[in-house]
Structures are given as C-alpha cells and as structure tokens.
C-alpha cells in the first residue's frame, strides 16, 4: 500500500474520530438531561408530568424512526443554518448529533429507571428536593448503566459516520466507498473495515472498563 494511501487512511480515521467525538459529546449534552427528564416525569415519579412526558416521548420516537441516511439529507437546510454549510465533515456533525441525542436519551432513561425506588424514597425521607435526588442519587446510582449506554451510542455513531459521505462528509466510511468500492481497491476496503473493527473494539473495552470502575454494586455472579 502506498504511503499516500496510508496517509489517507490515517486522515480518514482522525476525521471519523472527530465527528464521533463531537457528535457524541453534543448528543450526550442534550440526551442526558432529556433522558433523565423522560424517566422522572413519568406518572407517579419524582416530577410526574404525564402529558409532557408523552409529547417528549413522541418527539424522541419520531427522531429515532427516521433512517439515518434520510435524516442526513432531510435536514440539510437546518444543517446549513447551524454549521454555515451543508457539505463537509463539520456539517456532518449536525445530523450525527441529532441522531445520537434521542438514542442517548432513551438509554439514559432506561438506566435511571433501573435505580431502586427505595433509594428515591430514602432520599425523600431525608428532605431532599427533586433536583437533589436527581443529582445525588439517580445519576450516581445509574452511572454504570449510563456508561454502558454511552458506549453503545458511540459504537452506533461510528457506524452512522460511515454514511455522511452522502453530504460530502469524509472519514473511514467515505474512504471505503470512494476508493474501496467505486475505484475497486479491495485493499483500501479491507483496511477501512479492519480499522473500524479495531475502533469499535477499543471503544467497547474502554466503555466496559469505565462502567466496571464506577460500578460498586455486588458482582452479579459471585464465582470469584
């Protein structure tokens, strides 16, 4: 493989990492509070507000039902408004974030709902405000689950980022399509696939390691 190709692969990897990192971060900034709110606004919960919960849930579901490739082209005007352009790697961060946020919101919601309701009751009995309960009980207790959820979201984002070539976004997926497929360079395709596999493995291991680190609960099977 020529030095030129190797440089292209390195550059594409960095572009993928850039898109995934920024959209993952922005998606978390939006998805975390939305997910927490989805969990605590259910009927009978801490900030019970069934109607708002229902509406928000519908919005999240709607965003999640649009296939990513359709989302990318459907929101081009919005992307232009936010990023100043609708073409390129940076512009691709906009649809990636919009795809990530509702996904992350649902994952966070699930993790929060797993928290033992006895802990909420204990905190209420201490005189905690709903906000204190969220900050000091729900989020810390759900952290292992949230960490695993974010890992899953980042892995999905790596997959989504391969589709942004459709709007001129670059990165590994785009390289694989343009060189590996359209120019029929199977060694490029192979290299792209291998790099993607390695990236996903790394993210997964890192995420699981972090989750273990923050998980102070008893191990589920005690076969130590």
Partner 1 sequence: MADRQTSGAAITFENLEKSFYKKGTGQVKALEGVNLDVPAGTITGIIGRSGAGKSTLLRMVNGLEQPTSGTVTVAGHDVGRAGAAELRRIRRDVGMIFQHFNLLSSRTVYGNVALPLEIAGLPSAEIKPRVDDLIARVGLEQLSGRYPAELSGGQKQRVGIARALATKPKVLLSDEATSALDPETTQTVLKLLADINRDLGLTILLITHEMAVVRDIASHVAVIDGGRIVEAGTTYDVFADPKHPTTRSFLSGITGITLPSFVSHRLKAERPQGHSEEVIRITFAGRHATDPMLAKLTSELGIPVNILAGAVEEIGPHPFGNLLVSVEADRGPEARAYLERHNLLTEVLGYVG
CA distances from 10 to 68, 128, 147, 202 (A): 25, 51, 28, 17
> Rounded to an integer, what distance in angstroms lies between the CA atom of residue 78 and that of residue 210?
35
Q: How far is the CB of 218 from partner 1 (least distance, A)?
A: 4
* Residue where the block lists tokens 């996903």: 200
Q: How far is the CB of 142 from partner 1 (least distance, A)?
A: 9
Tokens for 142, please give them. 């759900």
Closer CB to partner 1, 121 or 187, in the complex: 121
Q: How far is the CB of 44 from partner 1 (least distance, A)?
A: 12
Tell me the residue ranges of DSSP E strands in the chain. none
Closer CB to partner 1, 112 or 195, in the complex: 112
Closer CB to partner 1, 101 or 112, in the complex: 112
Q: How far is the CB of 224 from partner 1 (least distance, A)?
A: 13
CA 5 to chain centre: 30
Closer CB to partner 1, 77 or 127, in the complex: 127
End-to-end CA distance of the chain: 47
Binding residues vs partner 1 (CB under 8 A) = 116, 118-119, 121-129, 132, 136-137, 140-141, 143, 214, 216-218
| CA angle (180 as vertex; 174, 185 as ends), nearest 5 | 150
Closer CB to partner 1, 138 or 163, in the complex: 138
219 φ, ψ to 5°? -60, 140
* Residue where the block lists tokens 């192979």: 190
Q: How far is the CB of 120 from partner 1 (least distance, A)?
A: 9
Is the CB of residue 29 less than 8 Å from the CB of residue 35?
no
């Amino acid at each position: 493989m020529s030095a030129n190709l190797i440089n292209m692969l390195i550059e594409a990897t960095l572009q993928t990492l850039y898109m995934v990192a920024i959209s993952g971060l922005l998606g978390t900034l939006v998805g975390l509070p939305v997910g927490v709110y989805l969990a605590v606004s259910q009927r009978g919960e801490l900030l019970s507000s069934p109607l708002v919960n229902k509406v928000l849930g519908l919005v999240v579901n709607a965003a999640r039902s649009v296939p990513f490739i359709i989302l990318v082209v459907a929101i081009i005007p919005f992307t232009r408004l936010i990023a100043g352009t609708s073409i390129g790697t940076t512009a691709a961060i906009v649809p990636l974030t919009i795809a990530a946020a509702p996904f992350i919101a649902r994952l966070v919601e699930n993790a929060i709902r797993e928290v033992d309701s006895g802990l909420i009751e204990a905190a209420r009995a201490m005189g905690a405000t709903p906000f204190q309960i969220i900050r000091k009980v729900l989020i810390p207790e759900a952290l292992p689950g949230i960490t695993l959820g974010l890992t899953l979201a980042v892995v999905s984002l790596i997959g989504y980022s391969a589709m942004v070539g459709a709007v001129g976004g670059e990165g590994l997926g785009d390289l694989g399509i343009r060189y590996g497929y359209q120019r029929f360079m199977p060694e490029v395709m192979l290299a792209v696939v291998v790099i993607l596999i390695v990236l996903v493995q790394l993210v997964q291991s890192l995420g699981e390691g972090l989750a273990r680190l923050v998980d102070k609960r008893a191990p589920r099977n005690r076969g130590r």
